[in-house]
Structure 1
Amino acid sequence: MHKTILQFLIVFLAVHTQVFAEESCKQSQNCIDIDRWDLALAIGLGSRSNPLSDYENIPVYVVPSIAYYGDNWFFDNGNLGYSLIESERFTINLATTYSDDSGFFNKWDPSNIFMLANGYQRSSVSASSAQQAEMVDKTIDFDELGDRNFTMLATIEGFYFSRFGVLKAAIGHDMFNVHNGAQADFKWNYSIAVDNWVFDTGVSATWKSEDLVDYYYGIRVTENTFWHQQYRASSAWNFGAELTARYLIATHWDALLALRYTKFAKAISDSPLLSDDYSSTYFVGMAYRF
């Protein structure tokens, strides 16, 4: 019995699912046996752009992948889960997960280590033309920014497997009362193998609640009194696209190219903290599976 890790980004960007056929499992090298640890390490050159003003892009040189699947329990790159229902066509899990928002503020955030893989409506408070220009130029002075902490989300997720790809729907809520927000994810992933090449493509839509958006992108009164009053966060949708191309060199070795793009909507990009309305990631390197 096998389970499949569908990689959304690089070798470590995983989605838990089943194997459709033993032959495809061997070809893709994305399968692990039950009750066996799956370890991989990617080394190369990459970067995740940081949309925050005056924050540096996040370099990507070494990326680990750590996964373990039991009969029901699993650990997947920092997340724990339990399979409630598992069949040939669909799976429903209870799992922990995390968003990538805190990764823009903290270099060693798990979303930067594992790169797990994300339009919003306009802010309810409009600004004058001069103020809007100021936002675009990002010439805003802030006192020292407060902490934007990492948290886990308690999530229920479902996967549907078809010949046209894998559909995922998930919704989760803050487990540790950091922002008391919620997030919902909807993803489609499709993989195709041609000789030694494996191509994984994906598109996603991610909804973030007002509490989550405000915690990470809102302006606190201690940071800037004016923009604390002017900027108003709201719930919003992010949209993303991903591509991973892998060349299977040997049983344990892959060469890979991974690309990801996330478009922020107005509810986030209108924040004075941001200088860009998107984030992009690339990685080129080699991966070894132990």
Structure 2
Amino acid sequence: MNRLKLIVLSCFLLPFFTWADTAPPCENDLECIEIGQWDLGIALGYGIRSNPLKDFDDIPIYMVPTFAYYGESWYFDNGNLGYTLTEQESYTINLATSFSTDSAYFQRWDPSNIFLAGGSTFDSSSVANNNIGLFTRGVQEPTIGDLEKRRFTYLGGLDAFIYTRVGIINFSLAHDMLNVHQGTEAQLKWIYNLPVQDWNFELQLKLDWKSEEIVDYYYGVRESESPYWNQAFKSKSALNAGIELTSTYVMTQHWDLLFLARYTRIADAIAESPLLNEEYTSTLYIGSSYRF
């Protein structure tokens, strides 16, 4: 886990050495949306998003809609709203909303399972081991009853992009807008686009920090679910690390081939929750998209 975080952080720091030599944020048509025009599309294919929660099925993905509109200052992008505070050649700062992605594991039709461009075998690092050997041989682990609903929420805050020759640095800081868990989330991403003739490859490395309130709301155990685990598992803030590769091949003016692979290493502070039986989540999707 620490090695993955170190690799991701190193890739974030590299672009700052070329701070003064910036590149435009939009280098080809695949990355751009025309101002004042709706961008509408739909992808059809097959994918799967693994679910790290115990007794919850992996999430199949068949259809991925896309709809966005960018004005001079305001924009709407796949369910999220934003307002550009300042836009310069080397950076952009926005006020923006974002989805609560953690709720997607609990609800099949959560927006994060619809807007993608938003049970495996349990390994040897078992929950029993992670919880500091609370159980001895022959003693049954306390069970957890039916889970209470974990609600979806919108996050709102600042979203900044820094454009460099070796990619885009994106930093966002957002707080719960709907008073669901009153938590805060911060993300740091490095985004690199590589167009090769009719292909476009996008690599993302991400660090995702979640406050104690978020971890407790989604991965803590309510007293009604298990009085024992309600006391035994103590929530704390967490830092996930992830990598994502998206490739697009332009077939015609409207049709593209699309492939996406995403892997997130879940922080120990979350993986130790008795609600989980995996320390990672992954998403794979392949399909064909039509852009209106």
Using the size of structure 1 for normalisation, the TM-score is 0.85
- 8 Å Cα contact 1:217-1:268 kept in structure 2: yes
How has the CA–CA distance of structure 1 residues 127 and 36 changed in structure 2, closer, same or farther, with 3 Å as cutoff? closer
Match of 1:241 in 2: 243
SS in 2 for 1:32: coil
Match of 1:201 in 2: 203
Match of 2:231 in 1: 229
Q: Which amino acid aligns with 1:49?
A: S
Unaligned segments of structure 1, at least 5 residues: 1-18, 118-122
How has the CA–CA distance of structure 1 residues 157 and 21 changed in structure 2, closer, same or farther, with 3 Å as cutoff? closer
Match of 1:183 in 2: 185
Matched, 1:131 2:135: yes
- 8 Å Cα contact 2:242-2:265 kept in structure 1: yes
Q: Which amino acid aligns with 1:25?
A: N
Aligned mates of 1:191, 1:149 — CA distance in 2: 34
Aligned mates of 1:58, 1:284 — CA distance in 2: 15
Give runs of aligned pairs for residues 49-198 of structure 1, distance below 5 A: 49-117=50-118, 127-131=131-135, 141-198=143-200
- 8 Å Cα contact 2:188-2:208 kept in structure 1: yes
SS in 1 for 2:28: helix
Unaligned segments of structure 2, at least 5 residues: 1-22, 119-126
Q: Cα distance, 1:128 vs. partner?
A: 4.7
How has the CA–CA distance of structure 1 residues 228 and 285 changed in structure 2, closer, same or farther, with 3 Å as cutoff? same
Match of 1:268 in 2: 270
Match of 1:6 in 2: none
Of all paired residues, the percent bearing the same amino acid is: 46
After the TM superposition, list the runs of 4 or more consecutive aligned residues in structure 1 that deviate by more than 4 angstroms: none
Q: Which amino acid aligns with 2:182?
A: N
Q: Cα distance, 1:20 vs. partner?
A: 2.7
SS in 1 for 2:215: helix
Q: Which amino acid aligns with 1:108?
A: W
Q: Cα distance, 1:131 vs. partner?
A: 3.1
Match of 1:253 in 2: 255
Match of 2:217 in 1: 215
Match of 1:39 in 2: 40
Q: Cα distance, 1:87 vs. partner?
A: 1.0
Matched, 1:277 2:279: yes
Match of 1:16 in 2: none
Deviation digits for residues 71-99 of structure 1 (CA, Å, limit 9, x no counterpart): 00000111001000001110000011123
Q: Which amino acid aligns with 2:86?
A: I
- 8 Å Cα contact 1:140-1:272 kept in structure 2: no
Deviation digits for residues 181-220 of structure 1 (CA, Å, limit 9, x no counterpart): 0000000000101121111001000000000000000000
SS in 1 for 2:33: strand
Q: Cα distance, 1:162 vs. partner?
A: 1.3
Q: Which amino acid aligns with 1:177?
A: N
Number of residue equivalences: 259
Q: Cα distance, 1:115 vs. partner?
A: 2.4
